[in-house]
Amino acid sequence: MSWSPCPDPTLGDAASVNAVETVIVPRAVDLGEMTVRRALPSTARQMVGPFIFFDQMGPAEFLTDQGIDVRPHPHINLATLTYLLEGEILHRDSLGTEQAIRPGAVNWMRAGRGIVHSERTAPELKRTGQRLFGLQTWMALPAAAEESDPAFLHHGDSELPVIEDGARSLRLIAGTLHGARSPLATASETLYADIALAAGGT
């Protein structure tokens, strides 16, 4: 049984009113190779902005001769955004793309009217083993773009703006923030950032 405290608002303190709208506990799905925790969609919230699926991959540790092997499968009418904190995934798709994604980089795959892709651990990494930890978010496309041509974009870690301010380091994956803009061209305006806070940081 889980329990979330719900204290009464403090008179005159705006932050104590509606500070947290919804608490979502992700459900775990065992894929055999690793566990994926899916926060969206949930019964409490179907979407947040354009984000319709929100998956956390791992953290997982693969020993020698282990890794992920997500075989070719189709997507339509949406886009996926993959961002890793640890490890590497090899993406292949029906456009002829073959792209490894590593921490700090972003893969954007617009399915549009249809695309097939696979996600695997490269053979050389299977031989040595690796840790894998990352996020894959699926974004609904605007109605006018649902049947658009499929596309794939990759931006390496050096292409994404990093904003550092004392105890805070922020990598801007998508959108605009503090005068910086990500080069990632998403189908709808949104904000996506990887923020690391040192102890005591805000």
Structural domain boundaries enclosing 90: 17-156
pLDDT score for 200: 83
Q: Report d(CA 81, CA 186) in Å as an integer.
A: 9
| pLDDT averages per 10-residue partition of the chain, 202 residues | 56 66 87 86 91 94 90 96 97 98 98 97 92 96 95 98 93 96 94 93 80
Q: Is residue 3 part of a domain?
A: no
Number of C-alpha atoms within 13 angstroms, CB side, residue 155? Answer: 18
State the CATH number of the domain containing residue 43: 2.60.120.10
Q: Is residue 6 part of a domain?
A: no
Q: Is residue 4 part of a domain?
A: no
Q: Is residue 80 part of a domain?
A: yes
Q: Is residue 196 part of a domain?
A: no
Q: Is residue 164 part of a domain?
A: no
Q: Is residue 42 part of a domain?
A: yes
User: How many domains is the chain partitioned into structurally?
Assistant: 1
- Estimate the share of the chain in helix, then strand, then coil, as percent rounded to the nearest 5: 5, 50, 45
Q: Is residue 31 part of a domain?
A: yes
